Structure 1
Amino acid sequence: MSEGFRQAGFHPVFAVESDPDAAETYRRNFGYHLVCSPIEKLPLSMLPTAEVIIGGPPCQGFSQLGKHLDDDPRNQLWHYFLQAVAVVRPLIFVMENVPQILNSAEYEAIKQEAGQLGYSIAGDILNAADFGVSQRRKRAIIIGSRIGEPIFPTPTYAEQPTGGLLPWRTVRQAIGDLPLQPTSENLHIGRNPTATSRLRYQQVPEGGNRFDLQRKRPDLTPGCWIRKQSGGTDLFGRLWWDKPAFTIRTEFFKPEKGRYLHPQADRPITHREAARLQTFPDDFIFSGSKIEIAKQIGNAVPCLFARAIAASVRSAIEAYQTVQVISEQRFLPVAIPR
């Protein structure tokens, strides 16, 4: 979320990240105020003052892919997030997670604990496509505020736009200017698929999926797919040029994991294309191996999505500060000449 908040005018002063490669990526883009440590081991005395705290405690235990692992210890990392909130006392905090968290016992506990700290708290499921991202990506956004009721950003885009809304941005708008052939420059790097993989890719039309492969070339189709005729329609799927992408996850370079085939070229999307679909600027610097960079891209909150959240947060803070200034002016002592 940090890039989106920076774009909205916020200045980061401290960060904590447990993954060394993600930590180096942060440092190269935002500065060296980051501590590489598990949040549960972070000394709270290190925390500076700040108006806002943002974060996304790991969510694998809540996600559909994680099969709702209720006893996953990662489900409890929000405790440490709120410990930081208790020490710093920001005006607002923002927590991002998978939609499933809003139906969990942990969310009820978060609301209770944040309420005891003096925060009004609300959660909502927002779609990144509604905020200018060329990707359908639904995330739970939890906002805590001690300066009034939490305010969520208002969508500016829609699938069927009315009332001044803009149409959802498309894959073409995000990556259409990039070369069809990967160049290896600026993360526009591709895999080296086998001849069999290339033949499989060629069977899937724009917007198609593994069922097109099964229908056209059952001899090229993995046996497990043939035996299971039901299931998700995104596996081995090809993107549409003129629609948003579906959720970009950490293994976007593997077509068997989702709808990650390029709309036109017979290959999975590249790291640069995935970063574009996550609305990272081209000059954003990533550190680590190709696999580690893919994790960073897939785990990120799309930058334009985060910027919309940040703009809403900033408006709330500025409105509060304006009221505070007016209130102080009303009660300034006035010296009356005798």
Structure 2
Amino acid sequence: MPPSPEDDARWLATAAALSARGRPLSAPNPAVGCVIVRAGRVIARGWTQAGGRPHAEAMALASLGGDARGATVYVSLEPCAHASARGPACADLLVAARPARVVVGQTDPDPRTAGAGIARLRAAGIATDLMPSASCATALAGFLLRTTAGRPHVTLKLALTLDGAIALANGQSQWITGPEARAHCHAERARADAILVGGGTLRADVPRLDVRLPGLEARSPQRWVLTRGSAPQGWRAAADITAPGAFGDAQWLFVEGGAGAAAAFLKADMVDRLLLYRAPILVGPGLAAVGDLGLETLSAAHGRWDMGPACRLGSDTLTVYHRRR
């Protein structure tokens, strides 16, 4: 019996989840996931490797000796169709492997592929279905935004007291949240290829902005500072965050502070995901989490955010919000 649409959606979600293993080390290539299924059982899987090669499909097919006859290949992004000195096109590898079917969760906006991968598979007589998948689009959001809008996917992180402060009035901010919340934040850093603070935060706190979780130290993101001046050694400066390509090849940008940087990204409507870590403490007058957004009416603030997951981290809570587009 052929797979149902529900089965296809489930396997595409599996491929999307698998792609997270390649993020962000696959940069500048997107992190893609691939699962190969025969008779309802996974027989191979792959994800984009560090530096962008091998691609997910190539990794999965290699484990089968390049032979996928009778199987269905689920891939989170359309197989590439362009030639590269670093390896063959995945569409050609799939044609040679002769699967019974290929299911794609997201078309590739890169003009070098952009539908050509699917067309090549169909021209070779391989049944190929495009099934737009929210899971795949979410997993590829950084690549899709960089390719179509010239900017990375932006996550804004705020660590707050119950009364909305990010620091005491004298500037002391270490530590508002506890060790569990800070560890979670480091895991989020490890999923980004760029991290940014404002110039004031850099001067006041001299943050390291690295990943200090055992085994993930190598995933520390590239450090950026929002400033019209120069950046210290080991940092890069961003002056106009709205300029296309302002953050180079970065696909996933993690913004940590402070209030001015947060306001800059919010005013530019460039925050796609908001992480609110909230500690069960009250400090009274303190530093606000976000600077002036230029709002003149409350109605302008409504209808922008959808609440996502929430969880407890030690004594703190985390709530995730997604920008409603």
Quickly name the TM-score band, shorter chain normalised: 0.3 to 0.5
TM-score of the superposed pair, with normalisation by structure 2 = 0.32
Choose between structure 1 and 2: higher helix proportion.
Answer: 1
TM-score of the superposed pair, with normalisation by structure 1 = 0.31
Which structure's relative contact order is higher, taking Cα pairs within 8 Å and 6+ residues apart?
1
